[in-house]
Every structure is written in structure tokens, then in C-alpha cells.
Amino acid sequence: MTSESSKLAFNDGWQYSPAPESTDHIVIDEQYGLFIDNEFVEPAEGQYFDTINPATEEFLASVALATDADVSRAVKAARKAKNGAWSKMKPADRGKYIYRIARILQERAREFSVIESLDGGKPIRESRDIDIPLSAAHFFYYAGWADKLDYAFPGRTSKPLGVVGQVIPWNFPLLMAAWKIAPALACGNTVVLKPAETTPLTAMKLAEVIRDAELPPGVVNFVTGAGDTGASIVNHPDVDKIAFTGSTEVGRIIQQSIAGTGKRYTLELGGKAANIIFADAAIDQAVEGIVNGIFFNQGHVCCAGSRLLVQESVADEVVSKLKDRMETLIVGDPLDKNTDIGAINSASQLQTIQSYLKIGEEEGAEMHQSSCVLPERGYWCRPTIFTGVSQSNRVVQEEIFGPVLAIQTFRTPEEGLEKANNTPYGLSGGVWTDKGSKIFQITKKVRAGVIWANTFNKFDPTSPFGGYKESGIGSEGGLHGLNAYVELVK
């Protein structure tokens, strides 16, 4: 089917009727304070900022803007808990608290999913099937380790690092919080976490869960704010470790400000992953993989398959099938269960993406977008591909963090690999082929932390996640993730 005929088939034919998830059961307060010592408290300077729904531009809640004084108060609470109740507790009891968090998250999964989609713009299908269940799974997984650290580090004795400062982005708000909090607690640390400024609400709900689970006050604290609040955590002298997920640019600033302080750190940064498709791959399956890799969560995924490297002999077929598939993708209301692509997270992220669309065209690439109708309000971007790009193009080298795919071709496996590895990043990659031997041969040579074969964007709490080169330092998830929160003393 050509792209033109598919347009007819899908646009003139039947449509799914709307199936929006209900918001009746959702309670969002008008205003949230800072969560310190298991209580919501006023920020010292009394300032608040708004978080909106990016699909409608409507106000959702206002949250506290934490300044240095507030961060100090949170760090003090965390220090007190670290020296007190939390370290004196038996590891098995620490585990029980983490299990409690996991179970409450499961019980309240529907509510969390809807709030995640409202605040961040991601399709409910993803928050419901991926973000929230995986968040609970991380708490379950690390709860299990709390009293087994001697087995995690055989022959060694581990000690918690102390007070951990954690700063996270807006693309997987609850999941990133879970990735950071669960292993930190399992190892006996206490936490001060800052969610991203556009998506603070599931962290505020997680605060309620932590209070309801009756964790000792001060074990987990949330401060809200933007970059300055993040910097205030990073630079606080009584923080022992910084765990950061976000842009490479901010990661660099953090690394510089930590240098020489003796603080530990892990940085999970950007990516520019390639899906490498060989001529012998199952093409329809690979096209689904490409779609999942770059259009999933609006391309707001650090390990997104934002580049496609396709073997020349099947390039026309793959691109034509991809264009057909793009026409069927439903862009719109994140709360609708049929939606494939939700809202771009913020006006500024949309602007960034749009500037890259212009850059791509100026660089001489050919742009193709699906023809869907976009809602009038809110921030939206049609699924987009660029063909005719070259390796040095900015749309090939730089992270766009939107539903934008750069497509190149290759002839030999060596050429494919060369191109795949030729960016400053090395977070993830995908290989599509019918030959098992080729999978082993190629995956060994892709310089990336996570590589999927004949699938993409699969996550599990037991497997480590982290990048090479400018994609970061250290790993999260699995045993590696525990390692980042302990000091091995013997």
C-alpha cells in the first residue's frame, strides 16, 4: 500500500470513537507545599509556581518553589532520619516499608496513571501499562534486596552513603522517582528528591504514599522548583551523593560543581540511539519497532530510537511501510485509550523540536509528517521523519527529544556499525535481523549501554540501564543500581 492510498483508507474510513479515561476519581489539591518530615510545609519565601496540563494548557495545581533555605531544611530532616530511625532499623524492616510503598502504588495505579498523563501529556496507555506498573515493580524489586545486601556484594560489607540528593526529568516522572528512591532506601540512605518543574504531581502523590506507608519522618523528602532548586541540592555541603537524570548540558554543570567535593554521583543523560535494520529482518515487525522506538511517549525518551539505519536493499520498502504506519497513528487527547501520541510536555520543548524541524530542512533533508489533524489547544507535534540526511547533520548528531526520526542507509554491516557509533552518545541501540549470529556479532560492537534485538524500549527492574560517552556515568537498575548507593567498606 502506498502512502497516498493508505491516507484514503484510513482517513475516509471509520474512526475510533473517543474513549477517554475518567478523571472523576482524581483528587489534585489546588496547592502543594514541600514534603519534609512526612508533612507538606510552606516554602520559606512563600513562593509557588503552576503546573499545567500540556494537552489543554489548563492549570492543574500550584507547587512550592523551594529556595536554599528549604533545601537545607529538607537535607537536615534527611540527615536526622539517616542518623536515627532509618539506620537503627533492621534491614528486613526497611524492606517492609519499601514493599508497602510498592503495594500502595499498585492499589492506586489508576489514579497515578491519570495524573501522570494529565500533568505530563503522555498517553494513558503508556502511563497505565508502563510507567506506573514499572514504578511499583522497582519498589518490589529493591524491597527484596534490603535484607540481602551481603548476597549482593559477596564477601564485602556495605554501608549506606548517607543523604542522597536526586534530581529527575519530566519524561517518566514517577518511574524516574522510583528508579532513584527504591535502591537508595534499600541500601539504607535517606533522600531529598526534586521532580521536574513541569511534572511534579505524581511526586506529590508519592509523598502521600510515603506518609501513608508510615515511613519514619525525613527518610524521603520532596522539594519542588526548577534548575536553581536542583543546583541548590547539588551544592548542599551535607549531601553525600547526587543522582541526576536529565540533559547532558546540565549533567556537565553538575559534574563541574561536584568536582573536588568528594560527593559521589551518577549521571543518566541524553541519547541518540539507532535502530539498525538488516535486509533479512522481519520487516513488518521492524517497522513496529521503529514506531515504538521513536513515537512512544512523543519521543520524550532518552533511549528513543531517534535514528534509523536501514540496509539499502530494503530501504524503500521500510520507509514506505513506515509512512503508511505513521498515517494510522492517533495523535491527541492523552487520556483517550486509543491515543498513540500524546502532547509535547511543554511549550519550550515544542519550540526546541520545531527548531530542529527547521534545522533539518535547512540542512537539505527531506521531511515527511503524517497528515493527522492536531488539536487546537495544547502542544503537539506530528510524527516526523527525515530522509536524505548525512552523518554530520545536526538532526543526526543531536538529541531532539521529540517524535522525529532521522533515516540513513548502509550497505555492509561495518558501515551500519560505523554510522551507529558515530555520535557523541551511547545510551541504547536496536538490531533487527533474522540471524542469531548477526545479533551477537553486531550487538557486541554497538557502543551503547542497552541494546535490544528484534524489539525496542523494553525495561525491567533487574536489568541495569546506563550509557557510554556523553550519555552518562554509572548505571541504574538491577544489582548495578544497588552498587551506586553503597560504600563497600571491606
From residue 2, alpha-carbon distances to 241, 267, 294, 318, 324 in Å are 54, 44, 22, 12, 7
Determine the Cα–Cα distance for residues 413 and 279; give it in Å rounded to an integer: 11
What Å distances lie between residue 403 and 41, 229, 298, 451, 466, CA to CA? 38, 29, 5, 20, 22
Q: How much helix, strand and coil, in percent to the nearest 5, is found in the chain?
A: 40, 20, 40
Among 21, 324, 333, 399, binds ligand NAD (CB under 6 A): 399
Measured distance CA(345)–CA(6) in Å, rounded: 29
Give the shortest CB-200-to-Mn ion separation in angstroms. Answer: 8
171 touches, from ligand NAD, Mn ion, none (C-beta below 5 to 8 Å by class): ligand NAD
Of 51-59, 105-113, 118-126, 263-271, the window that binds ligand NAD (rule: CB under 6 A) is 263-271
Which residue of the set 21, 111, 268, 327 is catalytic?
268
* CB-based contact 193:220 (threshold 8 Å): yes
Q: Which of 116, 187, 197, 302 is catalytic?
A: 302
Tell me which stretch binds ligand NAD (CB under 6 A): 23-31, 239-247, 307-315, 370-378. Answer: 239-247
240 binds ligand NAD (CB under 6 A): no
Helices (H) and strands (E) in the chain, counts: 19, 22
Among 64, 98, 234, 310, binds ligand NAD (CB under 6 A): 234
CA 349 remoteness from chain centre:
15
Find which of Mn ion, ligand NAD, none residue 247 binds, CB within 5 to 8 Å per kind. Answer: ligand NAD
Report the partner that residue 231 touches, choosing among Mn ion, ligand NAD, none (CB closer than 5 to 8 A by kind): ligand NAD
127 binds Mn ion (CB under 5 A): no
Cα Rg of the chain (Å, integer):
23
| Contact call for residues 177 and 193 (beta carbons, < 8 A) | yes
Interacting stretch for ligand NAD, rule CB under 6 A, among 55-63, 73-81, 168-176, 409-417?
168-176
Active-site residue, 381 included: no
| 206 residue type, one letter | L
Any residues with CB less than 8 A from the CB of 65 and at least 6 apart, and which? 43, 45, 47, 48, 49, 224, 225, 226, 229
Q: Please choose, out of 83-91, 95-103, 148-156, 192-200, the segment that lies near ligand NAD by the rule CB under 6 A.
A: 192-200
Give the interface segment with Mn ion, choosing from 8-16, 63-71, 194-202, 433-441 (CB under 5 A): 194-202
Of 1, 109, 253, 367, the one binding ligand NAD by CB under 6 A: 253
Residue 423 interacting with ligand NAD (CB under 6 A): no
Min. distance of Cβ 395 from ligand NAD in angstroms? 15
What's the half-sphere exposure (Cβ side, CA atoms, 13 Å) at 330?
18
Q: Where are the beta strands (DSSP E) in 38-195?
A: 39-41, 48-53, 58-64, 158-160, 163-167, 190-194
| 119 contacts ligand NAD (rule: CB under 6 A) | no
Active site residue 303: no
350 makes contact with ligand NAD (CB under 6 A): no
Smallest gap, in angstroms, from Cβ of residue 384 to Mn ion?
Answer: 23
Q: How far apart are CA 317 and CA 286, in angstroms?
A: 11
139, 141, 170, 432: residue in contact with ligand NAD (rule CB under 6 A): 170
Q: Which is nearer to ligand NAD, 239 or 254 (CB)?
A: 254
Q: What cell does 422 get? A: 558515530
Residue 346 CB, nearest approach to Mn ion (Å): 8
Binding of residue 271 to ligand NAD (CB under 6 A): yes
Residues labelled catalytic: 268, 302
List residues binding Mn ion (CB under 5 A): 51, 119, 198
